[in-house]
Amino acid sequence: MTATMKRLARTFSLVGVVVLFAATPVGAVGETIGTCMFEKIENADLAALKGPANKDALLSFEADLEKCFEAPNPILPEWDEVIWGGAAFAILFAFMWWKGFPAVSRAMQARSDRIAADLGAAEQAKNQANAVLADHQEQLGGAKAQAAQIIEEARAQADLVAADITARANEEVAQMRAKAAADLEAARMQAVSDLRGTVADIAVGAAERVIKSNLDADTQRALVDAYIDEVASTNA
């Protein structure tokens, strides 16, 4: 029996006791003095009370009648009421034991089961939440580590890029210097070549003018003869 059912049993027992004792004064209150005396007179053998020989019986009867003037006991009920009240209580208690307690027990059991299930679900949810929290914390930790790694890699990459840019810039500067030097040298060579060409043009032009002025018929013939002699002497 569960603690709840024990509490219910104790509650019903207390109610029964209160009903038992509370019912007694109520029953007594309902019996009037006249009724009491009527019942005693009706139940008494009045013939046996007559005469001096029955003086003691008469005194006893009078004392009995005088009891009708006494107030009922506020605590102890009459026995018949105790019996009826006890029987009613027993019946009620038995009925409650037979029908009420199982229903209440089932309801309580269902409620207990539901609460237990809820507690289990809550525990499971709590466990899941803890697991999720742990997972999130782990992921957060991993993310932090990954972020730190990415930052470190980015910093290293930035350092490499900076070094590469610096190297390229230095290389480009060196190439530009070399190209500038080469261009300067080429320009100088071109200037020298142009100057030579100009000098050659001037010299050859002067020579051509001299040659043309001297290329008379005799000179032409001499040139032809010289050519023929040169060809003839080629195989010599």
Partner 1 sequence: MPDQRVGAYAEALLAVASVQEQSSRITDELFRIGEALRNNEGLLTALGNNRLPIANRQGVVEDLLGDKASEVTTALVSMVVATGIGGHLPDILDAMAELAAQQRNRVLAKVRSAIELTEDQKTRLADAIKSSTGTDVEIRVIVDESILGGLVTEIGDDVIDGSVRFRQAQLRETFA
CA distance linking residue 109 with residue 2, whole number of Å: 9
Using the minimum distance from each CB to partner 1, give the nearer residue, 42 or 216: 216
* Total residues in contact with partner 1, by rule CB under 8 A: 29
Q: How far is the CB of 189 from partner 1 (least distance, A)?
A: 12
Which residues in the 172-211 window bind partner 1 by CB under 8 A? 193, 196-197, 199-201, 203-204, 207-208, 211
Residue-wise DSSP of 56-92:
HHHHHHHHHHHGGGSPPPSSS--HHHHHHHHHHHHHH
Nearer to partner 1, 180 or 215 (CB): 215
- Provide the greatest CA pair distance for the chain: 224
Overall residue count recorded for the chain in this entry: 236
159 binding partner 1? (CB under 8 A): no
Could you count the other beta carbons within 10 Å of the beta carbon of residue 81? 18
Nearer to partner 1, 162 or 215 (CB): 215
Residues near 20 by Cβ (< 8 Å), separated by ≥ 6? Answer: 77, 82, 85, 86, 89
Q: Which of residues 123-152 bind partner 1 (CB under 8 A)?
A: none
The 210-229 site mask, x for binding partner 1 (CB under 8 A), equals -xx--x-x-xxx-xxxxxxx
The secondary structure of 30-51, three-state, reads HCCHHHHHHHHHHHCCHHHHCC
Indicate the residue among 43 and 234 with the shorter CB distance to partner 1.
234
- The amino acid occupying position 135 is D
CB-wise, 38 or 227, nearer to partner 1? 227
The residues of the shown chain that bind partner 1, judged by CB under 8 A, are 193, 196-197, 199-201, 203-204, 207-208, 211-212, 215, 217, 219-221, 223-232, 234-235
